[in-house]
Structure 1
Amino acid sequence: MSAVQAPDRVTDAASAWPRGGDHPDDELAAGFVAGDENCLEAVYHRWGALVYTLACRSLGDAREAEDVTQTVFLAAWRGRSGFAPQRGALGAWLVGITRRKIADALSARTRRAELVAAAGTRLALEPAGRQEQPEAVLDRVVLTGELCKLPHAQRRVLTLAFYDDLTQAQIAELTGWPLGTVKSHARRGLLRLARCLEADAVRG
């Protein structure tokens, strides 16, 4: 699993927080809330495996669990001012965020399944005079099916762009991801979609 990226830049844990070390949880929490990016790295190495394991068990998909793990720590970093030590330990707070992100991932999975079902049944539900050409419906079903095969982050960006008609800036605001990250996911997702659709065309 790769190291978590801070919102603005990636840092190596080269200061007082090497790989989490033996520092007490309250010290790590204090540094984390104060915005020490090296402390973020240490927090990731102390609790990242727990977050990943919870996500993997719930989702049953290692790649999606990795995406959720990254999302959890990015969300925690951006929302660190909301952590209140008197309400519980930092680890428990991270677990709470993890459960919410897992729920989001499961909801997104359900929505993707519904999109596939809707695309496949739309032709049968429309009046004969208003039905789309079969080729158009097939194209949409194929596209939706290929979207479902993409990694979670790429899939989410392209789904928001295709079905919700959002700009990359709007997607960045909605997801909390840096604009550059959104653009990167969109580019990689589109390239992968193009390769898959070209392969389908050759097989057809």
Structure 2
Amino acid sequence: MTGNRTNLPAGRRRTPVTVPIDDVDHLRLVAAFRAGDERALAEAYARWSSLVYTIAVRSLGDPGEAEDVTQTVFIAAWRGRDTYNPERARLPAWIVGITRHTVADTHEARSRRRRIEQAVAGELRTTPVDDSVDVADRVMFAEELQRLEPVPQRVMRLAFYADLTHAQIAAMLGLPLGTVKSHIRRSLGRLRARLEANDDTY
């Protein structure tokens, strides 16, 4: 009788609990990501950036804006990693949620720019405009952007094409607000000098 007390019936024997390999890998990545391991950010980007880009480009129809959204999403995910709760959603699903919010914000920014452009067009409709001058200015602006270093160029594109405030640009790029303002001030100075030189030429 004593020997039987330590033996469970076959139907009641305990079996070790196993976790699927995919879940183990996901838990490892989540733990590293939430702990601030930059290698985990790089791994998450390698795994899901194409998914984020696909969602963005299908909604926005603009590859350039989709690239901006992709960068914005992973910056937001990294900075908000403390708010991620793995019990509520897997990491890729959480990132997709950020993507949808960012795409919606981009649509709103696009609509806001369109409203501003329409308002300006209404003001200028009765004033003769030399289209050649406008085209030349836009070409020179694009050329000037290409001459900037990568960081100032990124700042200017976000300021003029994405319609972001200085504070939003600083948060997105991880730069001090003063640095963003300095980049914009110096870049505008260079652009103004070129435009004035062009006016003198003609």
Task: Pick the TM interval, shorter chain.
Answer: 0.5 to 0.7
The code of the aligned residue for 1:51 comes to V
Matches within 5 A, 1:99-138: 99-123=100-124, 134=127
1:177 counterpart = 2:177? no
- Return the alpha-carbon distance in structure 2 between the equivalents of residues 189 and 60 of structure 1: 29
- How large is the Cα RMSD of the aligned pairs? 4.4
Count how many residue pairs are aligned between Structure 1 and Structure 2. Answer: 165
Amino acid corresponding to residue 40 of structure 1 in structure 2? L
Q: Which residue number in structure 2 is paired with residue 62 of structure 1?
A: 63
Shift of 1:26: 1.8
Distance 1:87 1:115, change over 3 A: same
The residue that corresponds to 1:97 in the other structure is 98
| 1:180-191 matched pairs, under 5 angstroms | 182=180, 186=184, 190=188
Long gaps (5+) in structure 2: 1-22, 146-152
The alignment's TM-score, normalised by the length of structure 1, stands at 0.61
The question of whether the paired residues in 2 share the 8 Å contact of 1:171 and 1:182 is answered with no
Relative to the length of structure 2, the TM-score reads 0.62
Q: SS in structure 1 opposite 2:173?
A: coil
The letter of the residue matching 2:113 is: R
Distance 1:97 1:109, change over 3 A: same
Cα deviation, residue 183, structure 1? 5.8
SS at match of 1:85: coil
Cα 1:193–1:111 change in 2 (3 A) is farther
Unpaired segments of 5 or more residues in structure 1? 1-21, 126-133
Identify the structure with bigger relative contact order (alpha carbons < 8 Å, sequence gap 6+).
1
Query: Which residue in the other structure is 2:77 paired with?
Result: 76
Name the counterpart of 1:158: 160
> C-alpha displacement at 1:156, in angstroms?
3.6
- More moved, 178-187 vs 106-115: 178-187
Amino acid at match of 1:95: V
Contact 2:84–2:94, Cα closer than 8 Å, also in 1 = yes
Give the percent of matched residue pairs that are identical in Structure 1 and Structure 2: 45
Corresponding letter in the other structure for 1:177:
L
> Higher Cα Rg: structure 1 or 2?
2
Deviations 1:53-82 (A, max 9, x none): 111111111111111000000000000001
- Give, in whole Å, the separation in 2 of the partners of 1:28 and 1:107: 33
